């Protein structure tokens, strides 16, 4: 795939991701913000520019598999039933499947597949643990959770920054990679300190 075609293809996928978000007004801009946070964490970790770009793209497209989820589930104004949650859980593998046959996006596809794995092995779709989970997936997991917690949902109001940070700390070592949580919270608190100096 030449560079121009690849760029145009990625742009088309990004438009598709935006269209999926438009189905749910509560998550408008969600993937863009997850992408921004994920890139900042990747940079803090000292990853190469190429790795940062892969993680940024995976974050931008991490919910692309939700194209197959019915609107009634995506927009349900109440907690999901077990059956509905099982349906939602398919989106990570479905999203990976959309990209997996494109040679240049195979690594991006893996990151997307595993962004709901838990550090302790209780996540999905494959029950990976610790560093078996791709680093990009571990980064996106934290950024995605924070962005979801601090956004309004049909069934609950947004958490405050403080409450969301407390939840990330509580999940460190079980749901989340503790190192990524420490870096992410450091970024959040640094952002607050910098805002205070303006």
What string of DSSP letters covers 131-156? GGS-HHHHHHHHHHHHHHHTS-BTTB
Enzyme catalytic residues: 66
Residue with tokens 């608190």: 189
Please, which residues have CB within 8 angstroms of residue 157's CB and are 6 or more apart in sequence? none
């Amino acid at each position: 795939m030449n560079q121009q075609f690849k760029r145009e293809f990625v742009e088309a996928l990004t438009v598709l991701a935006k269209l999926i978000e438009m189905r749910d007004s509560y998550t408008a801009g969600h993937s863009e913000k997850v992408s921004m946070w994920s890139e900042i964490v990747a940079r803090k970790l000292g990853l190469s520019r190429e790795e940062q770009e892969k993680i940024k793209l995976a974050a931008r497209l991490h919910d692309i598999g939700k194209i197959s989820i019915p609107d009634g589930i995506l927009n349900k104004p109440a907690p999901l039933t077990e059956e509905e949650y099982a349906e939602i859980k398919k989106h990570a593998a479905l999203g990976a499947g959309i990209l997996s046959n494109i040679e240049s996006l195979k690594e991006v596809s893996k990151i997307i597949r595993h962004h709901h794995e838990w550090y302790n092995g209780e996540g999905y779709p494959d029950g990976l643990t610790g560093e078996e989970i791709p680093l990009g997936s571990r980064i996106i997991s934290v950024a995605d959770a924070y962005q979801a917690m601090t956004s309004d949902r049909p069934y609950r109001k947004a958490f405050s920054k403080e409450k969301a940070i407390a939840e990330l700390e509580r999940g460190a070592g079980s749901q989340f990679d503790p190192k990524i949580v420490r870096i992410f919270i450091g970024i959040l608190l640094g952002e607050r300190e910098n805002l205070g100096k303006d």
